[in-house]
Amino acid sequence: MKKLEKNKTDKKKYSYSVVIKRLFADMGKNRFRFIAAFIIIALSKCCLTAAPVITQRMVDFLQESVGNGFVSGLGFIYKNSILLAVLYFIGCGSDGFVNKQIIRISQGLSRSYRNRIAKKLNAVPINYMDTHATGDVLSRATVDMLNMSNGLESTASSLIGQAVLLVGIIIMMLATQWKLALIYLISLPLNMLLIGLVTKFTGKQFRQMNEALGRLTEEVSDTYSNHTVVKAYTCEEEKGKRFETLNGDFYRTYVSARFLSGLALPISGILINISYVALCVVGGILMIHGNLTLGEFTAFLFYGNMIGTPLSQMSSSMNNIQTALSSAERIFELLDEEEEPEENPTRTLPAGLKGKIEFKNVRFGYKKGSPLMEDVSFTAEPGMTVAIVGPSGAGKTTLINLLMRFYDIWDGHIYVDGVDAYELSKEELRSAFGMVLQDTWIFDGTVRENIAYGKPSASEEDVVGSAQTVQCDSFVEKLPHGYETHLSDEKSALSVGEKQLLTIARAVISDPRILILDEATSQVDTRTEAMITRAMERLMNGRTTFIIAHRLYTIQNADKIIYMENGDIKEVGTHSELLAMNGRYADMYRGMAS
């Protein structure tokens, strides 16, 4: 029975059109608000394109009124002046309202993506974090999210608004004087072609820039989360050099992307100014020959001056849009990562769980085609203490990971009280286990919350009782606020041993039938070790316990010792039986004792 399929590790690539469609689809109900906002933008820009026509009418009227008396035409001027003011007010004043709506939509979308990323990280297989840098994941969830939201709220509306304005200007030019409009109908396609070529070429540059930023973020995260180790091994200079290298990579990709994308703006400016000069020359010639009125020429000067604004802003916006789309692509890559297969449990654990564990012909490997375990079989009877020993890389932790279904086996069976683990939901399976790892983990919260982590409904008596069981209540009561003292993994007044005691109390409160101890006392002093050992002996009484042992003297009283090497079980027996075999375990024991 094959349990594991090939993981998808290849990065997915998305075209900008696919990214835009997906962003629009993910807006949900806000799509209608988004469309309404751009309709308002379009209408406001139409008002701006209509304004020069009113100016044209006023100029032509004034030209005709020269020498004929002006008083009778004041009403016409007043009415058109008011209309002109209204058009400009609507054309420019609506931006504030639209920007507010776009910001709400953008931040709503970002909030939704952040929630989805949090759920995704809880749904991806354990090996995802084994193969992806933490800093890169952090960069996608923070920096890329910020780039995407900024691009949407600050440049998307500007880009579309200016595009509508550009189209409106061209239409009004053609309606006013098609001969003059030909000047821009020739220069604009060339302008847009050049911008398109620059945009296409710089898309890859922006992608590389975001990836370089991800690597830089990972380095900062790695260095300062392990700052003590860096200083202890005097690796400051080496880390500094590596940071300078990654920082240099980001600098070069950033400058390259921004420089190349920045070429669009001066190219656009040159073509627009050449077109404007041509407009003045050709317009002047048409006026001299009586084919163009002063009002029409004035309107064209307005349009010629206006047309440079949307082109320059569109060129500038493309930089931010490309950054935003590249960031959105990286976000989608994370959101589209393969999740753990959907569960379809057909069995439940027995009501009176005893804790019998059986591995039967288990076969597993981390990479397809490279098996680590070929045929692992053993049985742990209820209440038995099973120690798993062997050299580094022997497969000790892997065995536990398979038992907890952190990874799926290729073939074989794992039974819990006779029930196949793959017929159970992972939640129910894992609820039967309590784990105490070698590395402590204290999350941001109170002492009470840390102890009750595996059982949020725990009462005051449960929390205090668990603390007393592992004898950590004495130092907890000395903390400034006792069980309400706020802790974090990085900033805490607790020693490593005291943190370990809290994690053991966390296992105690969940009252599991099966315990997994990864050398839980390895980081405490001799006195604390003895205290924890006595507490653990009381906890282990009547429970099936698996101990990953690194110090063999701690497991001499185990009911069964499993010696592993290269992923397979080589020897099984009690301490005395294995010594009598005079095999690998005995060699390892004597080597540690000498």
Report how far residue 354's alpha carbon sits from residue 347's, in angstroms, rounded to the nearest whole number. 16
Tokens read off for 459: 């009462």
Go through the domains of the chain in sequence order and give each one's CATH number.
16-335 (1.20.1560.10), 357-432+518-527+549-594 (3.40.50.300)
Residue 585's nearest CA partner among 387, 379, 333 is: 387
Residue showing tokens 């995802």: 128
What pLDDT is recorded for position 565?
A: 92
Do 448 and 483 form a contact (C-beta atoms < 8 A)?
yes
- For the chain, the helix, strand and coil percentages under 3-state DSSP, each to the nearest 5: 65, 10, 25
Polymer length of the chain: 594
Main-chain phi, psi angles of 452, to 5 degrees: -90, 15
Residue showing tokens 């297989």: 125
Burial of 562 (0-12, 13-18, 19+ CB in 10 A): buried
pLDDT < 70 positions in the chain = 1-13, 66-73, 156-157, 199, 203, 224-234, 264-265, 315-316, 319, 489-492, 520-526, 528, 532, 535, 593-594
Q: What is the pLDDT of residues 190-209, one digit of tens each?
A: 777 777 777 677 767 777 88
Report how far residue 213's alpha carbon sits from residue 211's, in angstroms, rounded to the nearest whole number. 5
- Model pTM score: 0.67
Q: How many beta carbons lie within 10 A of that of residue 193, not counting itself?
A: 10
**H or E segment to which residue 415 belongs:** strand 411-416
Q: What is the pLDDT of residues 320-344, one digit of tens each?
A: 787 888 889 989 999 998 888 778 8
